[in-house]
Structure 1
């Protein structure tokens, strides 16, 4: 299984909503992990099965205390909980002031997320930069997705963040634009900016934002969710991402080559 890190260059262009959408539509077992130092949004927006409130004391902070003896699938899942609808989630800190309590957790957490046997992990990393405490989680990911909107300021920050981030991560880089499906020209302008850069962007997606679809992930939704543009495009993106991270990494390929050199008969 593999870790996918989603982050923004500045502000809040919809990383949490995008993470919830992708998690709900992921084609295999997945855990949504809130790794945003700014604090948890999921506990405010979403509920546990039966409409019960989520336990905001169970998540990254409780994991930091329990994980001093080591992390693994069982430990991770013991500090996660399920949303109404079935998505497993690890809640983030309640406020930025709690970040100091998990300072030593980020590096081992990222490695554990990327090596889990029971599920893929989608990490909502919020706003990211070279000095961000959650950067080790991003560095451990197999796929790093920067989320932006189709506005000039968002794209400008995206360009600056990509130029910096490329020196800090070895993962495949991707960009996802969250924009009204009618703003195709704006999305094309984002692609033009990326094409003009010398940085290799391996994948790019347009998540079609619509208020009706987004309202379901703010706890305000009514009607048929599957009819929304957000869900239609989200389904395609989730399947694409899952396929990408499901392929063997270069490291796994090299190890396989070392175990079975070319021309050797396998028994």
Structure 2
């Protein structure tokens, strides 16, 4: 299966909400992993089935202790828990101070996330930069998606982060712009900025800025969730994103060719389409 890293260039443009809604709509088994050093939002915003509080001690921190003996699918899932609605989640640290106990877990954790046998992983990595402790998780991902808004400040930080990130990751890149559905001009301006860059961003999505829909992922929702603009736009994004990571990338195909130069290594359908 595959690891998708969701991150922001600056501030909180909606990475956690995007992770929750995409995870809820993901077409295959999926785990939402909170890898944001700033601290967990999911444990505060969401509940366990039946409205019970989530166990904030079971997650990334408990995994750090257990992971010293090795990581694997069973270990990952043993330190995860189910949210009300059915989404599996690994709760992040309670506070930034707990990051010091993570040690060298980040690199093997990212590799394990990307190699889980029956589950995709959506990693909420929060704000990232070259010195971010969770960067090894981002580097292990098959797809790295930066979330931004259509404001000038957010786009400026997006441009700077993409220019830096391309030197640290080999994954395909994507951008989600969180914007009012009526502000398509603002979204187009973001695409124009990306077009002017030398960095190749393979995937671009517009996720509706929708406080009424987002309230459902903060314990405050009312009415029909499926009728919200957030769900309408996220449904299409989740399907496209899941399909994109289900196919081998050009990088993975090249690596397979290098490892088996005389073998019958064939490109996936996305690579055939490029030829």
Shorter-normalised TM-score: what interval?
Answer: over 0.9
User: Who is 2:93 aligned against?
Assistant: 93
Q: Please state how far the C-alpha of 1:69 moved relative to its aligned partner.
A: 1.1
| Deviation readout 1:129-169 (Å, 9 max, x if unpaired) | 00000000000000000000000000000000011101000
Name whichever of 247-256 and 157-166 sits farther off. 247-256
- The answer to whether the Cα contact below 8 Å between 1:36 and 1:127 also exists between their aligned partners in 2 is yes
User: Who is 2:181 aligned against?
Assistant: 181
User: Who is 2:166 aligned against?
Assistant: 166
Q: Distance in 2 between matches of 1:211 and 1:41?
A: 17
Q: Please state how far the C-alpha of 1:6 moved relative to its aligned partner.
A: 0.4
User: Who is 2:240 aligned against?
Assistant: 240
Q: Distance in 2 between matches of 1:261 and 1:90?
A: 35
Give the alignment's TM-score, normalised by structure 2. 0.93
Secondary structure of the residue that 1:177 maps to in structure 2? Answer: strand
Q: Distance in 2 between matches of 1:159 and 1:252?
A: 26
User: Who is 1:18 aligned against?
Assistant: 18
Matches within 5 A, 1:1-267: 1-250=1-250, 252-254=252-254, 255=256, 258=261, 259-260=263-264
- The answer to whether the Cα contact below 8 Å between 1:103 and 1:133 also exists between their aligned partners in 2 is no
Q: Distance in 1 between matches of 2:151 and 2:242?
A: 28
Q: Distance in 1 between matches of 2:88 and 2:27?
A: 14
1:60–1:186 distance in 2 versus 1, CA, 3 Å:
same
Q: Distance in 2 between matches of 1:52 and 1:218?
A: 14
1:192–1:251 distance in 2 versus 1, CA, 3 Å:
closer
Give me the CA root mean square deviation: 1.2
Q: Distance in 2 between matches of 1:70 and 1:249?
A: 28
Q: Please state how far the C-alpha of 1:126 moved relative to its aligned partner.
A: 0.2
Q: Distance in 2 between matches of 1:54 and 1:209?
A: 27
Q: Please state how far the C-alpha of 1:112 moved relative to its aligned partner.
A: 0.2
1:80–1:232 distance in 2 versus 1, CA, 3 Å:
same
Q: Work out the number of aligned pairs and report it.
A: 262
Q: Distance in 1 between matches of 2:131 and 2:40?
A: 20
Give the alignment's TM-score, normalised by structure 1. 0.96
